[in-house]
Amino acid sequence: MTTSSDVLLFIPNLIGYARVALTLLSYYFMLPGDTEVIFGLQGWHLTLVCYSLSFIADAIDGMAARYFRQSSDYGAVLDMVTDRCSTAGFLLLLSHVYPEYKLFLTGLLVLDISSHWFQMKQTGDGEHHKKGNKNFIVKVCD
C-alpha cells in the first residue's frame, strides 16, 4: 500500500523538485547585474543551461512516471504548476531585462496560461489534460 509519504518520494516527484531548483537557479543567474563567471560561463549562459535542463527534466519525469508506475495526482499537479510558474517567472524576468518587450511578453504569459486552461477544460473532469486529446502536437509530445 502506498502512503502519502511514499508519493512525496516517487522518482518523478524527485525530478520535479530538481526542476523547481533548476528554475530558481536560472532566475538567479538571469538577474540584471549578475555577471559572475562560473565554470567559464556568464550569467545568461547559466540561465540558459539551468532553464533548458529543467525542461529536459520535464520530459524525463513523465517517462519515469510511466516506467516506474509512479503516477499520482500530486505529481501531475506538481508538474503542471512547475511548468506554468517556470514560464511565468521567466517571462516576468525577461520583461524586466527587456522592458521594451513588456507588452509582448505579457501577451505570451496570458496565452500560455489561457491555452492550458482551455486544453484542460476540453479534456473533461477527472482526466489528465493529455489523455484522449485529439491535438496532433500534444499526442506527439506525450
Any idea which of 20-24, 34-38, 119-123 has the lowest mean pLDDT?
A: 34-38
Per-residue b/e over 66-104, b at no fewer than 16 CB within 10 Å? eeeebbbeebbebbeebbeebbebbbebbbeeeeeeeee
Active-site residue list: 83
**Backbone dihedral region for residue 49 (phi beyond 0: left; psi -120 to 50: alpha; all else: beta):** alpha
Residue appearing with cell numbers 547585474? 33
Report H helices in the chain: 4-8, 11-30, 43-67, 73-97, 102-123, 136-141
> What band does 128 get if pLDDT is binned at 50, 70 and 90?
low
Q: How far apart are CA 136 and CA 142, in angstroms?
A: 10
Q: What is the pLDDT of residue 140?
A: 56
pTM score above 0.85: no
Q: What is the pLDDT of residue 138?
A: 59
Is 63's pLDDT higher than 80? Answer: yes
Is 125's pLDDT higher than 70? Answer: no
